[in-house]
Structure 1
Amino acid sequence: MDLAGKTILLTGGTNGIGREMARQLKAKGASVVITGRNAERLTAMRGEGFEAISADLSNAAGVDTLIAEWGEREIDVLINNAGQLVDHDFRKGTPDADAADDCVYANLSAPIRLTTAFVERLKRRPETAIVNVTSGLAIAPAARQPVYCATKAGLRFYTLALREQLKDTNIRVIEALPPVVDTQMNDGNPMKKMPVEDCAAAILDAIEKDRKEANIGMTKVLRVAEGISPAFARSVTIRF
């Protein structure tokens, strides 16, 4: 896919991987609309020339706001990148159930709802894609992040099934599986972190080359380990 001239909706585009993807997409000539919920970051991205929609995707009202703001305009690529990490570790005490609900909605329900809203519109365009950003932890979980891992695994399986449903259409369904990336979300994570610029570039490369999956960085190693022994792959990640 040639990204130049494409109209792209990128959720979670004010920070981390999303912000870097937005910048790289713009450099490739795409028309990028981003979403976020932090007012200062939204303002900063608008200052860089992006259209930025304020929407909290951790609940249905926020997703509906985004859909309404988009209006009737066309769309070529939907990138479901927005995500939340929630502390859900019973070894530290009783987790916040409401925070877990927000994480489930942002990471899984929102992408499903946005896909449902835009898939027929995507079918009208000559060359389109839905890109779901999951995680290496969608393959094998980490004990300290059970809700995050569950939502990303859920989105992975949704993506696999959606790809089969849409295989006879013009819509490419792509899954991006980043490793641990050097973003604010991973502050305090002791694992080696991939530069955000490299991760964003790998995702865009997968879109341009119409790949079904982008196994990025250490996720490639994890996928090999899973192919040999899923139990071994889980034993590597579960302790983190």
Structure 2
Amino acid sequence: MEISGKTILLTGGTAGIGREMALQLKDKGAKVVVTGRNPDRLAAMAREGFETISAGLSDAAGVDALLEAWGARNLDVLINNAGQLVDHDFRKGTPDADATDVCIYANLNAPIRLITALAQRLQAQPEAGIVNVTSGLAISPAARQPVYCATKSGLRFYSLALREQMKNTNVRVIEALPPVVDTQMNAGRAVKKMSPEECARQIVEAIEKDRDEANIGMTKTLRIAESISPALARSITLKF
């Protein structure tokens, strides 16, 4: 896909992987509109020359507000990058059910609702794309993050099925599967982390090269392990 000249809606685009994607896509000539919840980060992105939309995607009202703000304008690429992590570990106590619901909505329901609302608009373009950012943990779960893993696995399978539905259209469905990345979500974790700049670079490259999947960093190794033995892959990730 030729990125220059494309209009891109990037959720969760004010920090971490999303911010780096926004900067790299803008450098390649795209018009990138970013969403986020933090006013200071939104203002910082506006100073960088981005159009911003304040939107929390943890419930239907937030998704509807984003769609209302987008209005009737055209769209070439939708990047579902926004996500949330919830602590759901019975070894530490009873998890917060309300926080669980928020995570499920933000990570799975919101991308599906946005795709549903914007798919027809994407199909009207000569060349278009949907990019769903899942995780290496969509392949094999981590014991301490079962809800996060379930949502990312759900979005992975949604992406696989959606790609089949869209195969005779002009819309490319791309799934990006990052490893552990050095972002606020993973702050304090004493594990090897990829830089958000490099993770974003590989996702942008996948968009440019029309790849169905971007298996990034250690996710490539996990994919190999999973292809040999799903039990082997689980033995690696369940310890995280």
TM-score by length of 2: 0.99
2:118 is aligned with what amino acid? F
Extract unaligned runs of 5+ from structure 1: none
- 2:154 aligned with 1:162, yes or no? no
SS in 1 for 2:236: helix
CA distance in 1: counterparts of 2:95 and 2:16, whole angstroms: 25
SS at match of 1:141: coil
In the TM superposition, residue 38 of structure 1 has moved relative to its aligned partner by 0.7
3-state SS of 2:4 partner: coil
State the one-letter code of the partner of 1:189: R
Secondary structure of residue in 2 paired with 1:32: strand
| Structure 1 counterpart SS, 2:155 | helix
Q: Distance in 2 between matches of 1:16 and 1:99?
A: 22
Tell me if 1:55 matches 2:55. Answer: yes
Partner Cα separation in structure 2 for residue 205 and residue 82 of structure 1: 19
Q: State the AA in 2 paired with 1:208.
A: E
Aligned partners of 1:106, 1:191: CA distance in 2, in Å? 25
Q: Distance in 2 between matches of 1:144 and 1:26?
A: 36
Task: Look up the SS of the partner of 2:239 in the other structure.
Answer: coil
Residue of structure 2 equivalent to 1:215: 215
1:35-87: CA deviation from partner (whole Å, max 9, x where unpaired):
00011111111111111100100100000000000000000000000000011
| Distance in 1 separating the partners of 2:175 and 2:229 | 22
Alpha-carbon deviation of 1:191?
1.4
The root-mean-square deviation of aligned C-alpha atoms, in Å, is: 0.5
Displacement after TM superposition at 1:239 (Å): 1.2
Over the matched positions of the two proteins, sequence identity in percent amounts to 75
Structure 2: unaligned runs, 5 residues or longer: none
Q: Which residue of 2 aligns with 1:237?
A: 237
Distance 1:222 1:190 in 2: 19
For 1:182 and 1:56, the matched residues in 2 are separated by: 22
Moved over 6 A (4+): none
Mapping of residues 1-240 of structure 1, within 5 Å: 1-240=1-240
TM-score where L is the length of structure 1: 0.99
Which string of whole-angstrom CA distances, capped at 9 and with x for unpartnered residues, describes residues 23-46 of structure 1? 001100100000000111111111
Q: How much does 1:99 deviate?
A: 0.5
Q: For 1:14 and 1:103, how far apart are their aligned partners in 2?
A: 19
Mapped partners of 2:86, 2:15: distance in 1: 17
Question: Is the partner of 2:174 in helix, strand or coil?
Answer: strand
